[in-house]
Chain A
Amino acid sequence: MIEPPEFILVEDSDEDADTVQQAALRCSTPVRLCRVLTGDACLALLQQTRPELPALVLMDLNTPGMDGRETLRLIKSDPRLATIPVVIVSTSANPRDLDYCYRAGANAYHLKPVRHSEHLQAMVEVLAYWLDRVVAHPNRRVLP
């Protein structure tokens, strides 16, 4: 049994992962983060985390191997995992991608701005919202 992370970041780009790490450091409470490079790794990790589930999966759409779309579909079609909030971050503003993700059950979709300051700010807001503000599903027990 691994101690479950509070959220999983699926991101193959080191630069973008670094930006998210910076954002995590700016959160008011410390956040346990686990970064994986691929969708396959994400699913493998989720299979091992029980009984608790992470509070958030933050996922890039274009990841090596199994891409973000397929990973999203598998998470949302698995009864045990379906309640995990999945937030997509992508450079693509293509309506087809937006449509696919929302239909597959994505909880939010964010664009990655090129401007670093905007990108960092966006990630801070996403983490603050999903980790602090929302009331989580009952199957996520918040540790004291």
Chain B
Amino acid sequence: MSVADAAKPLAWHGQAYSTKRFGVSITDCDSEPVQTPGCVQAHGALLVLRPTDLTIAQVSENSADVLGTAPAALLGRPLQELVGPAHSARVKAVLLQPEIERNPSYVFTHTAAHTGLALDVSVHTVDGVAVLEFEATGRDASEQRDFYALIRRSVAQLQGATTLSALGDIACTEIRALTGLDRVMVYRFHDDGHGEVVCESRRDDLPSWLGLHYPAQDIPEPAREVFRQTWIRPLRDVDGGLAELLPLTHPDSGRPLRMTHCALRGPSVMYTEYLRNMRVTASLTMSIRRDHKLWGLIAGHHYSGPFDMPYELRAACELVAQIVSLQHAAAEEREHAAYRQRIDSVQQQLVTQAAQEGGLAALLDGPPTLLDGLDTGGTALYHRKRWWCAGSTPAEHELDALRDWLSTRPEMLSRDRPLFATDQLSAHYPPGLAFSGVASGVLAIALSRSAKNLVLWFRPETAQTVRWGGNPHDKPTVVGPHGARLTPRASFELFVESVRGRSKPWLAVELEAALRFRMLMMELIVLRADQLAGLNADLARSNDELDAFAYVASHDLKEPLRGIHKYAHQLAESAGLLGEADHQRLAGLTRLTLRMDSLLDSLLHFSRVGRAELQLEDCEVGEVVEEALEMVAARRGDKPTRIDVPRPLPRVRADRVRLREIYTNLLSNALKYNRQATTTIELGWLAPHEAAAHPANAAWPAAAGAQTVLYVRDNGIGIEPRHLDQVFKMFRRLHGRDDYGGGTGAGLPIVKKLVERLGGVVWVESTPGQGSCFYFSVPTDDGPPNPE
């Protein structure tokens, strides 16, 4: 039912339109002139008067049936001849009142001369003519009903409604009670124009249409326009037939009569066919307006024949529709306030939990969780380089790509409102089609300026969530000349197709709640940062204390140590009194003091390694190695030693003194722990790409992949696999205290600390009895070395 093919002229092109003569088809109903149908419902008669002299300019062709006078006897004649001088004078008086413009007013009850039936007469003016409508009241002329008394209760109830659905329910129930219609529904028009049955009151034996969605085209734009202008629209009898105006256009102006405000306006062919297909026999429709927009409709259906809706009854229903419209904003505000309050309380609770438990995991562990605030199907939070998900969400690699895309959206980089929301992600982000089932709707807020850290909420595709309770095999629905399209089932199916890739839209109250949640999260993150800063300060303090301790150890412990050593020495000097065993004990005492002294020195050195400032420069590793070899020359002694350098060593950016110390320690160990006839030491290296290509194994650290790797390989005694993780620990020795020239067990811990200080890693591969290879890496970029 789209706009007509532009090339094909409308059937009534160039002529005055009459529903009765032309009708429309499914393809051109958007062009149907529903406001000037040229026809009235045949149960009533309509006169068009010239306001000045009240002569009859046009009359519906059924005037003989309704009024007892044929059109020919009325056209051009004064009204007085039909209704008598008193009623004519009354019409003349009413026409002087300005409120009458486009606003039908009851003026009198006319008794048809030929039948004696009472006819309610109402009048309004439009486009310079006066319109008189004669409708059968279905009651005695003397009977008067007090509809105000009837609706007083309805009004009180409507005013007390706290939610939109309560308001709609009350409206349906009250209108049904007032009128006796078989079914009364509230349709809601969503932002995309599609409709949904949100409230319903029906005869018990009828199937429910609650939850029925239908595409926007089901209520075409011309029909919607009518409901922006008029509050109420009765159709007394779907099969009541149409009566055309004679003549079809005004004899003075040549214009068709605008019948927007006429209760008798003839219905569209499409509409009556749709109703007929649903076995509806009469209908009454009212508009619900919000801020000058058409929010929805209250629709009444009747299934048991024609339905008389006298003027007063319509007025009462119109009043209900107006009150619903007036109360609508307030009810929605109350509903949203309750929703907002619920979201806020959940979110407050979440952030409090996270603050107390000190982690974002608390947001998803629940209850409550992030899912419990906003009405969503899934949620994902990205922070500290990982995702935290709950509910139905896209896969992590899809989330990664979505995050990267979102971080380029200008909305997400906004300073005050870094928020992006859509109910149709794939329209903006085509890859989103792959996961539109769980995430057609996305609401995102940024937690950092670059929008790399964010919170996402997902809404599933509407098509996967809407369920119309209506039974597809409902007895049915007759199918009229325009086919099965004009049935609720077809409408629902068309609707489901029309919302592929779309979710329920995000409400303003939800966007605001997301932004408030963002503020809470930012506070939480800042709080955590403060706590971390506090921890860092504590750590720095304890490092300083450790340094102070090492200093005290080196001094205050050394002084008595020297004293002990001295007295042991002096005792040994004045030997005369002592036996051989005593001499040995004194020698042991002396040796122990010396050992303790070297332990204290190592401790002091170790504590200083991590703290001294680095002086980075480009170092020729070959030169550094030469210096280191000189420093360990004494240890080489007389033993045959071969130093191999397979290829020239590279140039690296490092602190020269510390690099030398690394080599001094490694070379010294290589020389020390060797029982071969000839000590062989290989000094080599791997460029970053070579290191990256190295076959992965347990010992080879991934972190070395982008760095220059240097190594010292020996043919020494090797290290048992079970000891491999011990060698870098402070004061851990694998051998007897005086084996292999003694030592404090501080060399490798100091190497590890130095390498890490320079931004690299150190590790070892070893085969007992065959030798060890110590690797360490050095960063290749000029970036700052590891701060720790």
Contact = CB atoms under 8 A, between A and B. Distances in A.
Contacts of B561: 114
B594 interface: yes
Question: Secondary structure of the B side of the interface?
Answer: helix
A114 B554 contact: no
A115 B604 contact: no
B551 A19 contact: no
Contacts of B566: 15, 18-19, 116, 119
A114 B608 contact: no
B563 A15 contact: yes
A13 interface: yes
Given A16-B559, A114-B593, A114-B594, A94 B565 contact: no
A94 B559 contact: no
Contacts of B594: 114-115
A49 interface: no
Contacts of B593: 114
B332 interface: no
B20 interface: no
A121 interface: no
Interface residues of A, number: 18
A19 B563 CA distance: 10
A92 interface: yes
Nearest to A14: B563
A16 B563 CA distance: 7
A15 B562 contact: yes
A112 interface: yes
A13 B559 CA distance: 8
A16 B554 CA distance: 16
Interface in A76-110: 90-95
Contacts of A28: none
A93 to B, nearest CB: 7
Given A112-B562, A114-B558, A94 B569 contact: no
Contacts of A117: 569
B559 to A, nearest CB: 6
A38 interface: no
B562 A114 contact: yes
B555 A114 contact: no
A23 B604 CA distance: 29
A29 to B, nearest CB: 26
Contacts of A18: 566
A62 interface: yes
Given A93-B604, A94-B604, A94-B608, A115 B551 contact: no
Size bin of chain B's contact surface: 20 to 34
Contacts of B608: 94-95
Interface string B653-692: 0000000000000000000000000000000000000000
Nearest to A15: B563
B65 interface: no
A91 B559 contact: yes
* Residue from the set A18, A116, A119 with the largest chain B CB neighbour count within 10 Å: A116
Interface in B550-572: 551, 554-556, 558-559, 561-563, 565-567, 569-570
B565 A114 contact: yes
Interface in B578-634: 593-594, 597, 601, 604, 608, 612
B569 A91 contact: no
Nearest to B558: A91
Given A114-B594, A114-B597, A115-B594, A92 B554 contact: yes
Nearest to A60: B559
Contacts of A92: 551, 554-555
A44 to B, nearest CB: 24
Interface string A9-32: 000010110110000000000000
Interface string A52-89: 00000000001000000000000000000000000000
Nearest to B550: A94
A91 B565 contact: no
Contacts of A13: 559, 562-563
A73 B565 CA distance: 32
A91 B558 CA distance: 7
Given A13-B559, A114-B558, A94 B601 contact: no
Nearest to B572: A116
Contacts of A19: 566
A9 B688 CA distance: 58
Nearest to A117: B569
A19 B567 CA distance: 11
B569 A116 contact: yes
A115 B568 CA distance: 10
A96 to B, nearest CB: 9
A115 B572 CA distance: 13
Nearest to B596: A114
A115 B566 CA distance: 7
Given A114-B562, A114-B565, 15 more contacts: A13-B559, A15-B562, A15-B566, A19-B566, A62-B556, A90-B555, A92-B551, A92-B555, A94-B551, A94-B608, A95-B608, A114-B561, A114-B594, A115-B565, A117-B569
22 contacts: A13-B559, A13-B563, A15-B567, A62-B556, A62-B559, A92-B551, A92-B554, A93-B601, A93-B604, A94-B604, A112-B558, A114-B558, A114-B562, A114-B565, A114-B593, A114-B594, A115-B565, A116-B562, A116-B565, A116-B569, A117-B569, A119-B562
Return the 8 tightest CB-CB contacts between A and B, nearest first. Answer: A15-B563, A114-B597, A116-B569, A91-B558, A116-B566, A114-B562, A91-B555, A62-B555
